[in-house]
Amino acid sequence: MTEVLSMRGIDKAFLGVPVLSSVDLTMNQGEVHALVGENGAGKSTLMKILAGVHTADAGTIELGGRAVSFTHPLQAQHAGVASVFQEFNLLPELTVAENVHLGREPKRRGLIDRRAMIDSTAETLADLGVDDLAPTANVGRLSVAHQQITEIAKALSQGADLICMDEPTAALADAEVELLYRLIGRLRERGTAVLYVSHRLKEIFDLCDRITVLKDGRLVDSVATADITPDDLVAKMVGRRIEAQFPARLPGTETGGTRLKITGGGNDFVDSIDLDVRAGEIVGLAGLQGSGRTEIAEAVFGIAPFTRGTVEVDGTPIRITRPRKAIGAGIALVTEDRKAQGLALWQSVRANARMVLDANARVHSRRRLARVSGLLASLDLVARGEDQEVRFLSGGNQQKVVVAKWLAAEPGIIVLDEPTRGIDVGAKHKLYSVVRELAAEGLAVLLIASELIEVIGLADRIVVLHDGRIAGELPGGATEQQVMAYATGRGPE
């Protein structure tokens, strides 16, 4: 078998944080190769280096035996590497044929030869075994699956020998997944190699010839699919880490009555959510990216409300249609993206910390305002003063300001969506202790984290999501394998 790709010793760091360290990846002609790992394992980064989006800090890349080095996606494209990202690179106002030939339109006497363009697109589609997609169709009106096919046709017509697909089934319906399976089968027959990045074990075992496992930016193993069982694969993906240490449950923490109760909650993103969080309890929401974790937080907080089911706060049914209502009901949400959603960056620490109080007459009080400075201090905020603009603070200190702004309102329920993302270790540990203290004070805490270890280390109960539904529930301290088993849709270990 001919080797089409050989990546050796790839290193990559962002802002000094290593994301990949000496990773190898080899692929053969016509091979469907799975790249797997937890969130943050480095899959996307490796794929983007291959696609020329990022440039590796060290290591070599050979395509068909020739050493290459990409600094721009176009270079990768010319070298025969095409990528189908989750966000498609298509122009919705143009036709399928125009998109397939974008930038390389066939010309006759200096004008675009529409006929030739349509014919060659029809040929490519026929080669892929697709018979229900017209080259003249407008891309913006196509289904996601057909848009994906257009992307793949575009890749082939550019002469790609290697196509990278990032979570290609994430947005597809079941019937469309079948279509993608057939398409990938065709690509294999043609000798086109496919790098298949996915979380979904079933697809990986259905489709792929080989599997490369990454973990924390390092290569764990690269094996033939036939030589490994799903359980062993999960074990390789999660392993065990000892670095994280979590503060123990504080003495005197009592689990009280149910503060938040969701029954049959559902909307466009999630369905059949039954979830309750009691006073003094930390419930972890685990799941892979796109499994509906953030969507549950946003529904509870009224950003994209549940359209089905009921929500009760402290036993009272309530329809939360806007964040204001959620805040009025004593719910706080520390959002995933603190810069875009949490902070007014050009305002002072003080202005941000009192924003929730300022904005809501229902929670505003002099007593609470007077507590803000003390809150900031108790979170060990490091700033030049409360007048300093928050844009000058480190990520960890910015996050403390966000937490302070919500605690100022003295909520009964706090939802933390990725509270430790992008912050330093010290600030992380401070936040872990804060979460414990909040539970001890009788708050109901709903904790969302990509880092499984955080959920396992902090939560009293872990609710695992898969495809917008609750796949299972585990006690705190469960193993990563158990969580991943539910998260990948395989049921209990």
Partner 1 sequence: MTRVRDLLLRATNPTATVFVLLVLVFAGVFAMNPGFFEGPSLMAFLKQAAPLVILAAGQYFVIVSGNFDLSVGALVGAQVVIAARLIDGEESRTLPVMIVMVLFGIGVGLVNGLITTALKVQSFITTLGMLMVLYGAIRLWTGGAPTGSLSESFRVFGRMGIEDVPVLGQIPWALLIMIAVGAGSVLLMRTRFGRILMAAGDNERAAALSGARVDTARTIAFVLSGLSATIAGILIGGFAGVSAQVGDGLEFTVITAVVLGGVVLGGGRGSVLAAMAGALVIEALFTLFNQMALPATLRPAVQGAIIIAAVAYAARRRTRPVPTATATPS
Q: Determine if 319 is a binding residue for partner 1 (CB under 8 A).
A: no
And the tokens for 244?
A: 């994280």
C-alpha to C-alpha distance for 36 and 196, rounded to whole angstroms: 9
Beta bridge partners of 348: 389
Q: Determine if 155 is a binding residue for partner 1 (CB under 8 A).
A: no
- Total residues contacting partner 1 by CB under 8 A comes to 44
Q: Which of 311, 327, 445, 455 binds partner 1 (CB under 8 A)?
A: 327
Q: Answer whether 17's CB lies under 8 Å from 11's CB.
A: no
Q: Which of 86, 222, 255, 388 binds partner 1 (CB under 8 A)?
A: 388
Per-residue binding string, partner 1, 346-375, x by CB under 8 A, is xx---xx-xxxxxxx--xx-----------
Q: Which of residues 97-116 bind partner 1 (CB under 8 A)?
A: none
Helix (H, G, I), strand (E, B) or coil at 76: helix
Min. distance of Cβ 342 from partner 1 in angstroms?
Answer: 6
C-alpha to C-alpha distance for 333 and 446, rounded to whole angstroms: 9
The sign of the torsion formed by the CA atoms of 366, 370, 376, 380 equals negative
Min. distance of Cβ 87 from partner 1 in angstroms?
Answer: 20
Nearer to partner 1, 157 or 335 (CB): 335
Min. distance of Cβ 318 from partner 1 in angstroms?
Answer: 15
Q: Which stretch, 48-56, 225-233, 326-334, 433-441, contacts partner 1 (CB under 8 A)?
A: 326-334
Helix (H, G, I), strand (E, B) or coil at 154: helix
Q: Determine if 482 is a binding residue for partner 1 (CB under 8 A).
A: no
Nearer to partner 1, 288 or 332 (CB): 332
Per-residue binding string, partner 1, 422-451, x by CB under 8 A, is --x-xx--x---------------------
And the tokens for 475?
A: 């006690």
Q: Determine if 22 is a binding residue for partner 1 (CB under 8 A).
A: no
Which residues are within 8 A (CB) of 66 and not within 5 positions of it... i.e. 6 or more apart?
none
Q: Which of 147, 335, 482, 488 binds partner 1 (CB under 8 A)?
A: 335
264-288 CB burial, b ≥16 within 10 A, e <16: ebbbebbbebebbbbbbbbbbbbbb
Which residues are within 8 A (CB) of 312 and not within 5 positions of it... i.e. 6 or more apart?
258, 260, 261, 263, 318
Q: Which of 345, 386, 422, 481 binds partner 1 (CB under 8 A)?
A: 345
Q: Determine if 387 is a binding residue for partner 1 (CB under 8 A).
A: no
Per-residue binding string, partner 1, 259-298, x by CB under 8 A, is ----------------------------------------
And the tokens for 335?
A: 């959002």
Q: Determine if 303 is a binding residue for partner 1 (CB under 8 A).
A: yes
Q: Determine if 413 is a binding residue for partner 1 (CB under 8 A).
A: no
Q: Which of 323, 412, 442, 489 binds partner 1 (CB under 8 A)?
A: 323
* H or E segment and range at residue 126: helix 114-127
Min. distance of Cβ 314 from partner 1 in angstroms?
Answer: 19
Residue 239 one-letter amino acid: G
Q: Determine if 23 is a binding residue for partner 1 (CB under 8 A).
A: no
Q: Which stretch, 94-102, 313-321, 378-386, 440-448, contacts partner 1 (CB under 8 A)?
A: 378-386
And the tokens for 414?
A: 């706090």
Helix (H, G, I), strand (E, B) or coil at 60: strand
Residue 197 one-letter amino acid: V
C-alpha to C-alpha distance for 34 and 223, rounded to whole angstroms: 10
Helix (H, G, I), strand (E, B) or coil at 293: helix
Backbone angles phi, psi at 271, to 5 degrees: -150, 155
Q: Which of 42, 265, 284, 342 binds partner 1 (CB under 8 A)?
A: 342
C-alpha to C-alpha distance for 384 and 386, rounded to whole angstroms: 7
Number of separate helices (H) and strands (E) present in the chain: 17, 22
Local structure of residue 302 (DSSP, 8 states): T
And the tokens for 483?
A: 């969580």
Min. distance of Cβ 325 from partner 1 in angstroms?
Answer: 9
Q: Which of 2, 391, 477, 491 binds partner 1 (CB under 8 A)?
A: 391
Q: Which of 58, 91, 344, 377 binds partner 1 (CB under 8 A)?
A: 344
Nearer to partner 1, 58 or 344 (CB): 344
CA 310-356-378 angle, to 5 degrees, is 110
Q: Determine if 394 is a binding residue for partner 1 (CB under 8 A).
A: yes
Q: Which stretch, 58-66, 174-182, 201-209, 419-427, contacts partner 1 (CB under 8 A)?
A: 419-427
Min. distance of Cβ 277 from partner 1 in angstroms?
Answer: 20
Q: Answer whether 236's CB lies under 8 Å from 35's CB.
A: no
Q: Determine if 333 is a binding residue for partner 1 (CB under 8 A).
A: yes
Would you tell me which residues interact with partner 1 (CB under 8 A)? Answer: 301, 303, 323-324, 327-328, 333, 335, 340-347, 351-352, 354-360, 363-364, 380-384, 388, 391-394, 396-397, 405, 424, 426-427, 430
